[in-house]
Amino acid sequence: MTIAARLQYKVDTLLLSLAVFVRESVTVVTLWFMLNKVSTINGWDMGQLLFMYSFVFLTYSLCILIFTGVRDFESIANQGEFDTYLTKPLRPLFQVIARRSDVMATIGHGGLGVVLIVYAASRSGITFDWAHIGILITMIVGGVLIQGGILLFVASLTFWTTKSSEIQNLLFYQMRGFIAYPISIYPTLIRYLLTYILPFAFVSFYPAQYFYSVQMSAVGLLTPLVGILVFGFALAIWKIGIRRYASTGH
């Protein structure tokens, strides 16, 4: 459903958004209980972890606002809807993106992300001047592009496999789950994977690290560049896939 259509049902949208907010808050509460037993996780205290976690929610809220259609591309292709896009003068990818937006997830995740970043910044004594606000925005945009790029890459695989939901679950949702905690707690192979192959670490860990001025903090500044590279690569794969696309016959 498009944003305009969804907002016609204001009460439903608000209640569903609140449900998403509450559901996602459970993970934050779990983290809080965990840190009642151990004061830090690999040197990251509660305020720092919540600040890092805020990037997870903020970037995903914008990602799912823009790329819901990309996330759902398997059904679009397999139900024959994508065939109709190819007969129209607009670019197919634009039509996929414009098809619908998950407004409830955007509000729920985004609202929680705002609460966390405000609380964590005040708890940890982080102050934002205009320069830091600009850096924060570029990091969030970079995080959105990284996640959108990975979703687009998986969607592009549908041109070859026809089914991509299981791949999406593995490469996006399962791997994204690792960034709920500092990647420094994981084995070298996982850290390498989250930095160089599926760079989810640039969504939350490295940006948060920059603001706390810990070792290698400047790596977080690369987030926008990493986002552009990931999305550019995914777009190239999409263009290759669409050239060999054959109708599903529906």
**Could you tell me the pLDDT band of residue 248, with boundaries at 50, 70 and 90?**
low
Give the pLDDT score at 74.
Answer: 94
Task: Look up residue 164 and give its DSSP letter.
Answer: -
Please determine, for residue 157, whether its predicted confidence score (pLDDT) is greater than 80. yes
Could you list the beta-strand ranges (E) of 47-166. none
Rounded CA-CA distance 216/221 in Å is 10
pLDDT above 90: percentage of residues in the chain: 60
- Is the separation of the CB atoms in 152 and 220 below 8 Å? no
Nearest residue to 226 (alpha-carbon basis) of 192, 204, 202, 210: 202
Give the pLDDT score at 179.
Answer: 92
CA 186 to chain centre: 20
Give the pLDDT score at 67.
Answer: 96
Average of pLDDT values for 128-134? 90
CA 101 to chain centre: 14
Please determine, for residue 234, whether its predicted confidence score (pLDDT) is greater than 70. yes
Give the pLDDT score at 246.
Answer: 72
Greater confidence (114 vs 33) lies with: 114
Let me know the angle formed at the C-alpha of 224 by 177 and 149, rounded to the nearest 5 degrees: 55
User: Which tokens is 228 given?
Assistant: 């552009």
**Could you tell me the pLDDT band of residue 15, with boundaries at 50, 70 and 90?**
confident
